[in-house]
């Protein structure tokens, strides 16, 4: 919702009138000078919308406030009317917190729907920041969302593997629930999300592999040559449900310079639906986008969401810092997932992050079953991951 600045209006007054923290209001309007508001400027009120009401005989502001459960101060601020001079037929805008959800996490995501929902989310909750960090092989944008203002910078990503896109559902649900709780000042599992917002800054890439995820969800490339190539890689089949790779048949989580030659020697040597590490490290634009992002932002820790196994991989070659074990044990407490320090695997994003930065990195394998996990598992997966997301506030 947007309102027009009137003479004497301040962010502090707006914060009190709408029951939104001053931090959140300022972040939502970060391009305005808070101490120099100019009449006529537009201020965004996160999480609110307006509905129209046509004045009927006998209507009063007090009665409308009671009917719509809206403070009279909000009605006056939005409509700039004289309370004793309402006219029949006049239209007033009634502010209210938006209840309708944007994210539809009950069906598999495509890259287009992720993009559409992210745009709607930052429009409704402008305290979040969205940008493009790169493009896929087919030119689809890879988005990063920032939430929070804290010094602790935690990165979360999903859908490195195409048939593990339920991780995107879990991430998108958390983004919206977090934003909604901020506007409503409603704790999640007892945690004040306003404090979370001030202490933690989240970097979120909900969909690392847009081309592959679209392929798994039945969207063949429009380019005839590329379409023929992926069908050939898939042994002539148009059933791509078991496809893990990007559109060129490269496993994006085998693309990082952390023991890449080990994986190259024992994995397939040509493009495949799964497990081909590429002809060299970082040949794929999706993997390179996440690589460059880590250097740019210098994350304090990273969480890469995958499926399946209900385990948390937290070590690599003895290079992980001492605090990584304690974090992994805390994640276990809130999720029941089993921490595993070492596994005979290399070239993953988590592996490289630990090797390069000597900071905590985690690969979290959600759920159990055969990929792609059915959407019916969503509720369980979300509740298990929610504890891990929130634990980043206090550890």
If asked whether residues 76 and 136 sit together in one domain, one would say no
If asked whether residues 161 and 57 sit together in one domain, one would say no
If asked whether residues 288 and 381 sit together in one domain, one would say yes
If asked whether residues 299 and 376 sit together in one domain, one would say yes
If asked whether residues 118 and 203 sit together in one domain, one would say yes
If asked whether residues 11 and 130 sit together in one domain, one would say no
If asked whether residues 69 and 149 sit together in one domain, one would say no
Looking at the chain, the whole-number percentage of residues with pLDDT higher than 70 is 100
Q: Each residue of 75-123: pLDDT tens digit?
A: 999 998 888 889 999 999 999 999 999 999 999 999 999 999 999 999 9
Please say if the pLDDT value at position 201 is more than 90: yes
Domain end call among 40, 66, 97 = 97
If asked whether residues 328 and 191 sit together in one domain, one would say yes
Q: Each residue of 139-164: pLDDT tens digit?
A: 999 999 999 999 999 999 999 999 99
Q: Domain for residue 79, yes or no?
A: yes
The count of domains in the chain is 2
Q: Left if phi > 0, otherwise alpha if psi is -120 to 50, otherwise beta: which for 115? A: alpha
Q: Domain for residue 338, yes or no?
A: yes
Sign of the dihedral through C-alpha 67, 68, 70, 75? negative
Distance CA 256, CA 364 (A): 18
The CA distances from residue 349 to 8, 43, 72, 282, 366, in Å, are 51, 40, 53, 11, 17
Helix 285-297 / helix 349-357 crossing angle, nearest 10 deg: 30
Question: Which residues does 68 contact at the CB level (< 8 Å), separation at least 6?
Answer: 53, 94, 96
Task: List, in sequence order, every residue forming a beta bridge with 347; answer none if it has no partner.
Answer: none
Q: Domain for residue 254, yes or no?
A: no
Mean pLDDT of 16-42: 95
If asked whether residues 13 and 121 sit together in one domain, one would say no
Distance CA 167, CA 157 (A): 8
Candidates 312, 311, 388, 316; CA nearest to 357 is 316
If asked whether residues 63 and 138 sit together in one domain, one would say no
Q: Give the CATH number, domain containing residue 21.
A: 3.10.350.10
Q: Domain for residue 141, yes or no?
A: yes
Domain that holds residue 121: 111-212+281-391
Q: Domain for residue 34, yes or no?
A: yes
Distance CA 360, CA 277 (A): 24
Choosing from 115, 176, 284, 365, which is the catalytic residue?
A: 365
If asked whether residues 353 and 317 sit together in one domain, one would say yes
Q: Domain for residue 177, yes or no?
A: yes
Q: How many CA atoms lie within 13 A of 321 on its CB side?
A: 12
136 in Cβ contact with 211 (< 8 Å): yes
Candidates 149, 121, 162, 205; CA nearest to 27 is 149
If asked whether residues 15 and 78 sit together in one domain, one would say yes
Domain end call among 97, 130, 151 = 97
The encoded tokens of residue 232 equal 């050939």
pLDDT given for residue 50 in this prediction: 95
For the question of residue 365 being annotated catalytic, the response is yes
The overall average pLDDT reported for the chain is: 97
Q: Give the CATH number, domain containing residue 289.
A: 3.40.630.10
Q: Domain for residue 274, yes or no?
A: no
Mean pLDDT of 283-305: 98
Domain end call among 97, 121, 143 = 97
Mean pLDDT of 334-350: 97
pLDDT given for residue 279 in this prediction: 98
């Amino acid at each position: 919702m947007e309102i027009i600045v009137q003479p004497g209006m301040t962010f502090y007054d707006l914060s009190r009138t709408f029951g939104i923290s001053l931090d959140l209001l300022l972040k939502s309007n970060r391009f305005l000078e808070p101490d120099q508001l100019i009449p006529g400027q537009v201020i965004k009120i996160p999480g609110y919308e307006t509905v129209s009401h046509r004045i009927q005989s006998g209507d009063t502001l007090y009665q409308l406030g009671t009917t719509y459960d809206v403070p009279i101060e909000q009605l006056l601020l939005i409509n700039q009317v004289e309370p004793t001079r309402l006219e029949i037929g006049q239209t007033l805008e009634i502010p209210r917190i938006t209840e309708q959800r944007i994210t539809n996490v009950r069906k598999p995501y495509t890259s287009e729907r992720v993009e559409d929902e992210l745009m709607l989310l930052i429009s409704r909750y402008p305290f979040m920041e969205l940008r493009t960090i790169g493009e896929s092989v087919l030119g689809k944008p890879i988005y990063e969302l920032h939430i929070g203002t804290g010094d602790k910078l935690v990165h979360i990503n999903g859908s490195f593997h195409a048939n593990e896109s339920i991780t995107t559902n879990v991430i998108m649900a958390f983004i919206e629930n977090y934003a909604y709780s901020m506007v409503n000042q409603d704790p999640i599992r007892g945690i004040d999300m306003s404090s979370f917002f001030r202490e933690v800054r989240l970097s979120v890439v909900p969909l690392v592999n847009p081309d592959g995820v679209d392929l798994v969800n039945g969207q063949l490339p429009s380019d005839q040559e590329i379409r023929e190539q992926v069908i050939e890689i898939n042994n002539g089949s148009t059933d791509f449900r078991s496809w893990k790779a990007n559109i060129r048949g490269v496993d994006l989580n085998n693309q990082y310079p952390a023991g890449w030659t080990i994986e190259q020697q024992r994995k397939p040597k040509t493009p495949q639906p799964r497990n081909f590490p590429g002809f060299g490290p970082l040949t794929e634009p999706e993997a390179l986008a996440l690589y460059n992002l880590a250097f740019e932002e210098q994350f304090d820790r990273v969480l890469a969401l995958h499926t399946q196994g209900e385990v948390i991989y937290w070590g690599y070659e003895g290079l992980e810092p001492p605090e990584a074990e304690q974090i992994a044990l805390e994640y276990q407490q809130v999720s029941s997932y089993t921490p595993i320090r070492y596994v005979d695997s290399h070239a993953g994003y988590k592996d490289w992050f630990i090797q390069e930065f000597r900071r905590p990195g985690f690969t979290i394998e959600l759920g159990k079953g055969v990929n792609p996990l059915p959407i019916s598992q969503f509720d369980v997966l979300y509740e298990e991951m929610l504890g891990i997301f929130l634990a980043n506030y206090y550890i």
